[in-house]
């Protein structure tokens, strides 16, 4: 392949992966055309992209973006999946898809699509960790909850003393009115 063609491929892949910080690296083996089409169609409905990449080009582009992955990830055929609202949504969709592909397999080959690694915010994580990571909205909710809990305790403490005092004054005034 000529240097010009390689440069075109590199530039196109670089533009495609620009700004991608959350992705899943898959290793497809023995995936037929029909299965590949169904995989892409299923993920496209969830706003997730799937792309077969050349290992050296993908490794160089991701390294340029600050994403360093183990050398074992770049062995064999590599398929990148990215998109969705969060790594949690992405990993759950890909995991579900892998299970569907394995279930549909009639030949008993359970490793048609192997999950090599997941990348969350530029860091390599296990697929199990990626599936339970909070989404952006969940993380903001947790932070707000953590910030508001002590404040609500303080407000509760301040208002409870005032309400107890008001209750005691009311009882005393009722006794004086009755006497």
pLDDT of res. 109:
63
Q: Where are the alpha helices (DSSP H) in the chain?
A: 3-16, 33-45, 55-64, 87-104, 127-132, 136-178
Residues in contact with 92: Cβ distance below 8 Å, sequence separation at least 6, in sequence order: 131
Asked if the model's pLDDT at residue 40 lies above 70, the reply is yes
Query: Token digits for 155?
Result: 């407000």
Residue 161: C-alpha distances to residues 28, 155, 164, 172 (Å): 66, 10, 5, 17
Reported as a single tens digit per residue, the pLDDT across 7-36 is 999 899 899 889 888 999 999 887 888 888
Query: What does residue 173 show for φ and ψ, rounded to 5 degrees?
Result: -65, -30
pLDDT of res. 175:
77
pLDDT of res. 59:
92
Query: Please, are residues 144 and 138 in contact by the beta-carbon 8 Å criterion?
Result: no
- Please state, in angstroms and rounded to a whole number, the distance separating the CA atoms of residues 22 and 90: 8
pLDDT of res. 24:
93
Between 163 and 35, the more confident residue is 35
Reported as a single tens digit per residue, the pLDDT across 100-132 is 888 877 666 667 888 899 998 888 888 888 888
Reported as a single tens digit per residue, the pLDDT across 41-88 is 999 999 999 999 999 999 999 999 988 888 888 988 899 999 888 889
Among the listed residues 36, 29, 19, the one whose alpha carbon sits nearest the alpha carbon of residue 116: 29
Q: What is the pTM of this model?
A: 0.74
- Please state, in angstroms and rounded to a whole number, the distance separating the CA atoms of residues 31 and 14: 26
Query: Token digits for 129?
Result: 């960790």
Q: What is the largest CA-CA distance in the chain?
A: 107
- Please state, in angstroms and rounded to a whole number, the distance separating the CA atoms of residues 65 and 67: 6
């Amino acid at each position: 392949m000529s240097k010009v063609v390689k440069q075109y491929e590199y530039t196109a892949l670089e533009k495609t992966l620009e700004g991608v910080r959350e992705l899943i690296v898959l290793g497809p083996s023995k995936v037929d055309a029909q299965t590949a089409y169904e995989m892409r169609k299923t993920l496209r409905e969830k706003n997730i992209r799937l792309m077969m990449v050349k290992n050296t080009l993908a490794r160089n582009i991701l390294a340029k973006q600050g994403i360093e992955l183990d050398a074992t990830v770049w062995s064999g055929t590599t398929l990148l999946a990215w998109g969705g609202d969060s790594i949690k949504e992405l990993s759950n969709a890909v995991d579900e898809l892998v299970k569907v592909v394995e279930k549909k397999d009639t030949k008993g080959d359970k490793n048609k699509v192997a999950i090599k690694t997941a990348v969350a915010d530029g860091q390599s994580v296990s697929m199990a960790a990626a599936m339970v990571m909070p989404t952006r909205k969940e993380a903001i909710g947790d932070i707000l909850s953590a910030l508001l809990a002590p404040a609500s305790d303080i407000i509760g403490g301040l208002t409870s003393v005032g309400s107890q005092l008001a209750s005691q004054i009311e009882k005393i005034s009722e006794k004086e009115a009755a006497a």
